[in-house]
Protein backbone atom coordinates (compact mmCIF):
# COMPACT_ATOMS: atom_id res chain seq x y z
CA UNK A 1 0.00 0.00 0.00
CA UNK A 2 1.32 3.46 -0.94
CA UNK A 3 2.27 5.88 1.83
CA UNK A 4 -0.39 8.38 0.72
CA UNK A 5 -3.12 5.75 1.00
CA UNK A 6 -1.87 4.70 4.44
CA UNK A 7 -1.95 8.35 5.53
CA UNK A 8 -5.56 8.85 4.42
CA UNK A 9 -6.80 5.66 6.04
CA UNK A 10 -4.87 6.41 9.24
CA UNK A 11 -6.34 9.90 9.66
CA UNK A 12 -9.85 8.63 8.97
CA UNK A 13 -9.47 5.89 11.56
CA UNK A 14 -7.96 8.26 14.15
CA UNK A 15 -10.80 10.77 13.70
CA UNK A 16 -13.31 8.04 14.50
CA UNK A 17 -11.31 6.45 17.30
CA UNK A 18 -10.53 9.75 19.06
CA UNK A 19 -13.90 11.32 18.24
CA UNK A 20 -12.02 14.28 16.80
CA UNK A 21 -13.49 15.27 13.40
CA UNK A 22 -11.11 18.24 13.13
CA UNK A 23 -8.05 16.03 13.49
CA UNK A 24 -5.47 16.60 10.74
CA UNK A 25 -1.80 16.01 10.06
CA UNK A 26 0.57 18.71 11.24
CA UNK A 27 3.22 16.56 9.53
CA UNK A 28 2.13 13.85 7.12
CA UNK A 29 3.52 10.34 7.70
CA UNK A 30 7.05 9.91 6.36
CA UNK A 31 8.67 6.50 6.13
CA UNK A 32 11.65 5.86 8.42
CA UNK A 33 14.40 3.31 7.96
CA UNK A 34 14.78 0.45 10.40
CA UNK A 35 12.60 -2.49 11.26
CA UNK A 36 12.73 -5.70 9.23
CA UNK A 37 9.17 -6.92 9.83
CA UNK A 38 7.30 -3.62 10.15
CA UNK A 39 6.86 -0.40 8.24
CA UNK A 40 7.65 2.66 10.35
CA UNK A 41 6.27 6.16 9.78
CA UNK A 42 6.84 9.41 11.67
CA UNK A 43 4.01 11.96 11.82
CA UNK A 44 2.37 14.69 13.91
CA UNK A 45 -1.26 15.60 14.48
CA UNK A 46 -3.20 18.77 15.13
CA UNK A 47 -6.77 19.36 16.24
CA UNK A 48 -6.92 16.36 18.57
CA UNK A 49 -6.35 15.51 22.24
CA UNK A 50 -3.31 17.06 23.88
CA UNK A 51 -1.78 13.61 24.45
CA UNK A 52 -1.61 13.16 20.66
CA UNK A 53 0.09 16.49 19.92
CA UNK A 54 3.62 15.12 20.42
CA UNK A 55 5.80 13.58 17.65
CA UNK A 56 4.35 10.14 16.91
CA UNK A 57 5.30 6.85 15.28
CA UNK A 58 3.12 4.43 13.34
CA UNK A 59 4.41 0.85 13.38
CA UNK A 60 2.52 -1.09 10.71
CA UNK A 61 2.82 -4.87 11.02
CA UNK A 62 3.04 -7.36 8.22
CA UNK A 63 -0.50 -8.75 7.72
CA UNK A 64 0.86 -12.26 8.33
CA UNK A 65 1.67 -11.34 11.93
CA UNK A 66 -0.57 -12.64 14.69
CA UNK A 67 -3.42 -10.29 15.51
CA UNK A 68 -2.56 -10.12 19.22
CA UNK A 69 0.98 -8.85 18.58
CA UNK A 70 -0.02 -5.20 18.91
CA UNK A 71 -1.79 -5.84 22.21
CA UNK A 72 1.23 -7.60 23.68
CA UNK A 73 3.59 -4.84 22.57
CA UNK A 74 1.30 -2.14 23.94
CA UNK A 75 0.98 -3.83 27.32
CA UNK A 76 4.70 -4.61 27.49
CA UNK A 77 5.96 -1.14 26.55
CA UNK A 78 3.48 0.72 28.73
CA UNK A 79 4.16 -1.54 31.71
CA UNK A 80 7.94 -1.20 31.58
CA UNK A 81 7.53 2.56 31.08
CA UNK A 82 5.32 2.71 34.18
CA UNK A 83 8.03 0.80 36.05
CA UNK A 84 10.50 3.57 35.15
CA UNK A 85 12.29 2.00 32.20
CA UNK A 86 12.87 4.20 29.12
CA UNK A 87 10.42 2.70 26.62
CA UNK A 88 8.12 4.72 24.33
CA UNK A 89 4.50 4.66 25.47
CA UNK A 90 1.98 3.16 23.09
CA UNK A 91 -1.09 5.37 22.70
CA UNK A 92 -3.18 3.08 20.50
CA UNK A 93 -3.14 -0.48 19.23
CA UNK A 94 -4.86 -0.53 15.84
CA UNK A 95 -6.68 -3.62 14.60
CA UNK A 96 -6.69 -4.88 11.01
CA UNK A 97 -10.15 -3.35 10.60
CA UNK A 98 -8.57 0.10 10.27
CA UNK A 99 -7.85 -0.73 6.62
CA UNK A 100 -4.09 -0.11 6.83
CA UNK A 101 -3.19 -3.52 5.48
CA UNK A 102 -2.35 -4.93 8.90
CA UNK A 103 -2.45 -4.25 12.60
CA UNK A 104 -0.44 -1.28 13.88
CA UNK A 105 0.64 0.75 16.87
CA UNK A 106 0.65 4.50 17.41
CA UNK A 107 3.30 5.46 19.95
CA UNK A 108 5.47 8.28 21.16
CA UNK A 109 8.42 9.10 18.96
CA UNK A 110 11.61 8.84 20.99
CA UNK A 111 14.26 11.48 20.20
CA UNK A 112 17.87 10.64 19.50
CA UNK A 113 19.83 8.21 17.37
CA UNK A 114 20.93 4.58 17.82
CA UNK A 115 23.66 3.95 20.35
CA UNK A 116 25.95 2.37 17.76
CA UNK A 117 25.83 5.50 15.61
CA UNK A 118 26.44 7.73 18.61
CA UNK A 119 29.91 6.28 19.25
CA UNK A 120 31.70 3.39 20.92
CA UNK A 121 32.98 5.09 24.08
CA UNK A 122 31.45 3.35 27.09
CA UNK A 123 29.00 1.39 24.93
CA UNK A 124 29.61 -1.98 26.59
CA UNK A 125 29.21 -0.54 30.08
CA UNK A 126 26.01 1.28 29.12
CA UNK A 127 24.60 -1.81 27.40
CA UNK A 128 25.28 -4.06 30.39
CA UNK A 129 23.95 -1.53 32.91
CA UNK A 130 20.76 -0.91 30.96
CA UNK A 131 20.18 -4.63 30.49
CA UNK A 132 20.63 -5.23 34.21
CA UNK A 133 18.19 -2.40 34.88
CA UNK A 134 15.58 -4.07 32.67
CA UNK A 135 16.07 -7.42 34.37
CA UNK A 136 15.60 -5.82 37.80
CA UNK A 137 12.04 -4.71 36.95
CA UNK A 138 9.04 -6.45 38.49
CA UNK A 139 8.13 -9.20 36.01
CA UNK A 140 5.00 -9.87 38.05
CA UNK A 141 3.68 -6.43 37.10
CA UNK A 142 3.92 -7.33 33.42
CA UNK A 143 2.29 -10.71 33.98
CA UNK A 144 -0.62 -9.11 35.83
CA UNK A 145 -1.03 -6.46 33.13
CA UNK A 146 -1.08 -9.14 30.43
CA UNK A 147 -3.64 -11.17 32.39
CA UNK A 148 -5.90 -8.13 32.72
CA UNK A 149 -5.58 -7.27 29.02
CA UNK A 150 -6.19 -10.89 28.07
CA UNK A 151 -9.42 -11.01 30.09
CA UNK A 152 -10.60 -7.68 28.64
CA UNK A 153 -9.82 -8.69 25.05
CA UNK A 154 -10.93 -12.28 25.41
CA UNK A 155 -7.46 -13.57 24.49
CA UNK A 156 -6.55 -16.26 26.99
CA UNK A 157 -3.19 -16.90 25.31
CA UNK A 158 -1.80 -13.41 25.91
CA UNK A 159 0.17 -14.44 29.00
CA UNK A 160 1.13 -17.86 27.64
CA UNK A 161 2.62 -16.29 24.53
CA UNK A 162 4.89 -14.14 26.69
CA UNK A 163 6.63 -17.18 28.18
CA UNK A 164 9.45 -19.34 26.88
CA UNK A 165 6.99 -22.17 26.29
CA UNK A 166 4.79 -19.86 24.25
CA UNK A 167 7.72 -18.51 22.22
CA UNK A 168 8.92 -22.02 21.37
CA UNK A 169 5.37 -23.13 20.50
CA UNK A 170 4.97 -20.12 18.19
CA UNK A 171 8.20 -21.00 16.37
CA UNK A 172 7.09 -24.61 16.07
CA UNK A 173 3.77 -23.52 14.60
CA UNK A 174 5.45 -21.25 12.04
CA UNK A 175 7.85 -24.00 10.99
CA UNK A 176 5.01 -26.47 10.53
CA UNK A 177 2.44 -24.18 8.91
CA UNK A 178 4.93 -22.57 6.50
CA UNK A 179 6.55 -25.88 5.56
CA UNK A 180 10.04 -24.94 6.76
CA UNK A 181 11.20 -28.55 6.69
CA UNK A 182 14.88 -27.67 6.88
CA UNK A 183 14.32 -26.31 10.39
CA UNK A 184 12.34 -29.27 11.73
CA UNK A 185 15.31 -30.98 13.47
CA UNK A 186 16.34 -27.63 14.95
CA UNK A 187 12.99 -26.96 16.66
CA UNK A 188 12.96 -30.55 17.92
CA UNK A 189 16.32 -29.92 19.59
CA UNK A 190 15.02 -26.69 21.15
CA UNK A 191 11.92 -28.45 22.48
CA UNK A 192 13.92 -31.34 24.01
CA UNK A 193 16.93 -29.54 25.47
CA UNK A 194 15.49 -26.71 27.53
CA UNK A 195 17.71 -26.50 30.65
CA UNK A 196 16.19 -26.12 34.12
CA UNK A 197 15.90 -22.49 35.16
CA UNK A 198 18.45 -21.45 37.77
CA UNK A 199 17.05 -18.02 38.57
CA UNK A 200 13.88 -15.99 38.86
CA UNK A 201 12.23 -15.14 35.54
CA UNK A 202 12.63 -11.53 34.40
CA UNK A 203 11.33 -9.28 31.64
CA UNK A 204 13.42 -10.15 28.57
CA UNK A 205 13.46 -7.76 25.62
CA UNK A 206 14.53 -10.41 23.13
CA UNK A 207 16.21 -8.01 20.68
CA UNK A 208 18.34 -5.88 22.99
CA UNK A 209 21.19 -4.33 21.00
CA UNK A 210 22.72 -0.90 20.24
CA UNK A 211 20.47 -0.16 17.24
CA UNK A 212 17.38 -0.49 19.46
CA UNK A 213 18.76 1.87 22.11
CA UNK A 214 18.28 5.53 21.26
CA UNK A 215 20.44 8.16 22.93
CA UNK A 216 20.06 11.93 23.06
CA UNK A 217 22.41 14.45 24.70
CA UNK A 218 24.52 11.63 26.10
CA UNK A 219 21.67 9.79 27.85
CA UNK A 220 19.36 6.93 26.93
CA UNK A 221 16.15 8.36 25.48
CA UNK A 222 14.40 5.06 24.84
CA UNK A 223 14.60 1.37 24.09
CA UNK A 224 12.47 0.38 21.10
CA UNK A 225 11.28 -2.75 19.24
CA UNK A 226 9.61 -5.04 21.81
CA UNK A 227 7.78 -7.78 19.81
CA UNK A 228 10.06 -10.55 21.12
CA UNK A 229 9.66 -9.67 24.79
CA UNK A 230 8.97 -12.60 27.12
CA UNK A 231 9.17 -13.37 30.83
CA UNK A 232 11.98 -15.89 31.20
CA UNK A 233 15.50 -16.64 32.45
CA UNK A 234 17.73 -13.57 31.95
CA UNK A 235 20.41 -15.77 30.35
CA UNK A 236 18.12 -16.12 27.31
CA UNK A 237 18.04 -12.36 26.85
CA UNK A 238 21.79 -11.93 27.30
CA UNK A 239 22.36 -14.78 24.83
CA UNK A 240 20.18 -13.09 22.21
CA UNK A 241 22.18 -9.88 22.61
CA UNK A 242 25.44 -11.82 22.33
CA UNK A 243 24.31 -13.44 19.06
CA UNK A 244 23.32 -10.08 17.57
CA UNK A 245 26.51 -8.33 18.65
CA UNK A 246 28.71 -11.09 17.25
CA UNK A 247 26.93 -12.09 14.04
CA UNK A 248 24.95 -9.24 12.46
CA UNK A 249 26.94 -7.84 9.50
CA UNK A 250 28.33 -4.43 10.41
CA UNK A 251 27.49 -3.13 6.92
CA UNK A 252 23.79 -3.12 7.84
CA UNK A 253 24.23 -0.53 10.59
CA UNK A 254 24.34 2.46 8.23
CA UNK A 255 27.76 3.58 9.41
CA UNK A 256 30.50 5.30 7.42
CA UNK A 257 33.30 3.08 6.11
CA UNK A 258 35.76 4.17 8.77
CA UNK A 259 33.26 3.55 11.54
CA UNK A 260 32.43 0.10 10.15
CA UNK A 261 36.10 -0.84 10.27
CA UNK A 262 36.33 0.34 13.87
CA UNK A 263 33.23 -1.62 14.92
CA UNK A 264 34.59 -4.80 13.31
CA UNK A 265 37.91 -4.42 15.08
CA UNK A 266 36.32 -3.58 18.43
CA UNK A 267 33.51 -6.15 18.26
CA UNK A 268 35.20 -8.97 20.28
CA UNK A 269 36.29 -6.49 22.96
CA UNK A 270 32.83 -4.92 23.11
CA UNK A 271 31.10 -8.29 23.52
CA UNK A 272 33.57 -9.42 26.17
CA UNK A 273 33.18 -6.23 28.19
CA UNK A 274 29.39 -6.36 27.92
CA UNK A 275 29.30 -9.93 29.26
CA UNK A 276 31.83 -9.18 32.00
CA UNK A 277 29.91 -6.07 33.05
CA UNK A 278 26.68 -8.01 33.27
CA UNK A 279 28.24 -10.94 35.16
CA UNK A 280 29.80 -8.66 37.76
CA UNK A 281 26.31 -7.94 39.09
CA UNK A 282 24.33 -10.99 38.02
CA UNK A 283 25.64 -14.54 37.38
CA UNK A 284 24.76 -16.32 34.16
CA UNK A 285 24.19 -20.05 33.86
CA UNK A 286 26.41 -21.48 31.10
CA UNK A 287 23.80 -24.00 29.94
CA UNK A 288 21.11 -21.35 29.86
CA UNK A 289 23.37 -19.05 27.86
CA UNK A 290 24.15 -21.74 25.26
CA UNK A 291 20.47 -22.69 24.97
CA UNK A 292 19.55 -19.03 24.63
CA UNK A 293 22.03 -18.61 21.77
CA UNK A 294 20.55 -21.62 19.98
CA UNK A 295 17.02 -20.26 20.46
CA UNK A 296 18.00 -16.80 19.20
CA UNK A 297 19.64 -18.38 16.16
CA UNK A 298 16.56 -20.44 15.36
CA UNK A 299 14.26 -17.44 15.70
CA UNK A 300 16.35 -15.57 13.13
CA UNK A 301 16.47 -18.61 10.86
CA UNK A 302 12.69 -18.99 10.88
CA UNK A 303 12.27 -15.37 9.81
CA UNK A 304 14.94 -15.67 7.12
CA UNK A 305 13.49 -18.93 5.78
CA UNK A 306 9.99 -17.45 5.57
CA UNK A 307 11.16 -14.30 3.85
CA UNK A 308 13.57 -16.00 1.44
CA UNK A 309 10.78 -18.32 0.28
CA UNK A 310 8.67 -15.27 -0.52
CA UNK A 311 11.40 -13.28 -2.28
CA UNK A 312 10.31 -12.29 -5.73
CA UNK A 313 6.71 -11.80 -4.63
CA UNK A 314 8.03 -9.45 -1.93
CA UNK A 315 11.39 -7.63 -1.73
CA UNK A 316 13.81 -9.29 0.66
CA UNK A 317 14.90 -7.10 3.57
CA UNK A 318 18.64 -6.36 3.89
CA UNK A 319 19.11 -8.51 7.00
CA UNK A 320 17.69 -11.67 5.48
CA UNK A 321 19.47 -10.99 2.18
CA UNK A 322 22.80 -10.85 4.00
CA UNK A 323 25.04 -13.62 5.34
CA UNK A 324 23.44 -13.24 8.79
CA UNK A 325 21.24 -16.33 8.34
CA UNK A 326 24.22 -18.46 7.29
CA UNK A 327 26.10 -17.25 10.36
CA UNK A 328 23.11 -18.15 12.53
CA UNK A 329 22.99 -21.63 11.00
CA UNK A 330 26.70 -22.16 11.66
CA UNK A 331 26.38 -20.98 15.28
CA UNK A 332 23.36 -23.24 15.83
CA UNK A 333 25.30 -26.21 14.43
CA UNK A 334 28.28 -25.45 16.65
CA UNK A 335 26.07 -25.46 19.77
CA UNK A 336 23.76 -28.36 18.94
CA UNK A 337 25.46 -30.51 16.31
CA UNK A 338 22.46 -29.96 14.02
CA UNK A 339 22.90 -28.09 10.73
CA UNK A 340 19.72 -26.22 9.75
CA UNK A 341 18.92 -25.97 6.04
CA UNK A 342 17.33 -22.86 4.50
CA UNK A 343 16.92 -21.34 1.06
CA UNK A 344 19.70 -19.16 -0.27
CA UNK A 345 19.12 -15.45 -0.83
CA UNK A 346 18.71 -14.60 -4.50
CA UNK A 347 21.03 -11.89 -5.79
Residue-level pLDDT at 344: 87
Residues 221, 244: Cα–Cα separation, whole Å: 21
Q: How confident is the model at residue 251 (pLDDT cuts 50, 70, 90)?
A: confident
pLDDT digits (tens, 9 = 90+) for 278-335: 999 999 999 999 999 999 999 999 999 999 998 876 678 889 999 999 999 999 999 9
Residue-level pLDDT at 127: 96
Three-class DSSP category at 28: strand
Last residue of a domain, one of 108, 129, 151: 108
Q: How confident is the model at residue 218 (pLDDT cuts 50, 70, 90)?
A: confident
The answer to whether residue 66 scores a pLDDT higher than 70 is: no
Q: In this structure, how many other beta carbons lie within 10 angstroms of the beta carbon of residue 265? A: 10
Across the chain, the runs of DSSP E, i.e. the strands, are: 24-32, 38-46, 56-61, 90-94, 104-108, 113-114, 202-204, 213-216, 219-223, 230-232
Q: Which residues contact 224 (CB under 8 A, 6 or more apart)?
A: 87, 88, 110, 212, 213, 214
The answer to whether residue 34 scores a pLDDT higher than 70 is: no
The answer to whether residue 143 scores a pLDDT higher than 80 is: yes
Q: Are residues 223 and 319 in the same domain?
A: yes
- Between residues 84 and 38, the one the model is more confident about: 84
344 within domain boundaries: no
Provide the CATH number for the domain around residue 48: 3.30.200
Q: Mind giving me the DSSP string for 230-290?
A: EEE-HHHHHHHHHHHHHHS-GGGG---HHHHHHHHHHHHHHHHHHHHHHHHHS---HHHHH
237 within domain boundaries: yes
Which range is least confidently modeled, 16-25, 124-133, 192-201, 229-238? 192-201
Which range is least confidently modeled, 139-143, 237-241, 259-263? 259-263
Average pLDDT over residues 33-61: 89
Phi and psi dihedrals of 334, rounded to 5? -65, -35
Residues 86, 47: Cα–Cα separation, whole Å: 28
The answer to whether residue 23 scores a pLDDT higher than 90 is: yes
342 within domain boundaries: no
The answer to whether residue 266 scores a pLDDT higher than 70 is: yes
Last residue of a domain, one of 108, 129, 156: 108
Q: Which domain holds residue 272?
A: 113-336
299-302 CB contacts, 8 Å cutoff, 24+ apart = 299/167, 299/171, 299/228, 300/243, 300/324, 300/325, 300/328, 301/183, 301/186, 301/325, 301/328, 301/329, 301/332, 301/340, 301/342, 302/171, 302/174, 302/175, 302/180, 302/183
Q: How confident is the model at residue 118 (pLDDT cuts 50, 70, 90)?
A: low
- Between residues 18 and 157, the one the model is more confident about: 18
What percent of the chain has a predicted confidence (pLDDT) above 70? Answer: 93
Q: What is the mean pLDDT of the chain?
A: 90
Q: How many domains does the chain have?
A: 2
Q: Are residues 63 and 211 in the same domain?
A: no
Amino acid sequence: MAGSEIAERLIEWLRRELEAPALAFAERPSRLSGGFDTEIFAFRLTGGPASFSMPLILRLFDPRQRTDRGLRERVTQNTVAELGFPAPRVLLAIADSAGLGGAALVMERVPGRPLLEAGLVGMSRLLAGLHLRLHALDAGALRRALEAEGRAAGIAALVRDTTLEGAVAALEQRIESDGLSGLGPAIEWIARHRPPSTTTAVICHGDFHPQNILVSAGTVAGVIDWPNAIIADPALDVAATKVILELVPVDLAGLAAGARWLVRAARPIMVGRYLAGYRRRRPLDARGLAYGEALACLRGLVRADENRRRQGALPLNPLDASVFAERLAARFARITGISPALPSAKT
